[in-house]
Amino acid sequence: MPPLHRLPTRKAPWLLLAASALLLELCALYFQYVMGLEPCVLCVYERTAVAGILAGALIGASAPHTVLARLAGFTLWIGGAAWGLGLALEHMAIQAGGASCDFLANYPDWFSLDRWLPWMFEPRGFCDEIQWTLFGYSMPQTLVPIYALYLGIAAIILLSRLRWHWRSRHA
C-alpha cells in the first residue's frame, strides 16, 4: 500500500470513496422503495450531501494526477461530509425535541433536485418521525458517525499530504 500522502494521486482510493457513497445512496433508496420509509426534507438534504461526496470522488478519480481534480474532489468530499454531519445533528435534535421541519425541499432554482429527480430527492415524510432504528439508533444517529468518519479520513489524508509537502520543501 502506498503512503497516505500518495493516496489522492491514485484512482483506486477515489473509486473506493465513490463506492462507499454510492452504497449509502442505494441504501437510502432501499429504505424508501423496499421498506416503504418516506424521506423527510432533512433526509433528502442528507442524500444530497452524500451525492456531493460521490461527485467529489468521481472528479478526483477522473484525473487524480492533477491538482485541480484533487482540489475539487476534496472540496466536495469535505463540504458534503461537513454539511451532512450538520444536517444529521439537526435531524437528531428535531427527533429528540418533537419539533418538525419544512415539508418541501428548498433547493435553489438552478439546482432543483426535487423537481429533476423526484424519485430520489422529493421529501414525503416528517423529520420528527422515527421510522427505523438499528440497535436503538435512529437513521440520523447512524449517519453522524458515518459523516464524521468521512471527515476524519479526509483530514488524515490532507494532513499527511501537507506534512509530506512541507517536508519535501524544507528538506
Q: Read off the pLDDT of residues 81-118 as tens digits, 9 standing for 90 and up.
A: 999 999 999 999 999 986 778 888 999 999 999 999 99
Average pLDDT (7-23) is 96
pLDDT at residue 1 is higher than 70:
no
Cell of 140: 440520523
Domains and CATH numbers, the chain: 4-104+133-169 (1.20.1550.10)
Selected catalytic residue, list 124, 127, 167, 169: 127
Cell of 64: 487524480
User: What percentage of the chain carries pLDDT values higher than 90?
Assistant: 80
Check if the beta carbon of residue 73 is closer than 8 Å to that of residue 153: no
Average pLDDT (145-169) is 89
pLDDT at residue 9 is higher than 60:
yes
145: confidence class by pLDDT, cuts 50, 70, 90: very high
Selected catalytic residue, list 6, 10, 101, 124: 101
Q: Which amino acid is at 115?
A: R
Selected catalytic residue, list 6, 10, 27, 47: 47
Global pTM?
A: 0.92
Q: Indicate the helix (H) or strand (E) that contains 138.
A: strand 137-138
Average pLDDT of the chain to the nearest whole number: 93
pLDDT at residue 36 is higher than 70:
yes
- Helix residue ranges per DSSP H, 34-138: 41-62, 67-97, 113-116, 118-121
Active site residue 27: no
Selected catalytic residue, list 43, 115, 161, 163: 43
Q: Read off the pLDDT of residues 53-83 as tens digits, 9 standing for 90 and up.
A: 999 999 999 999 999 999 999 999 999 999 9
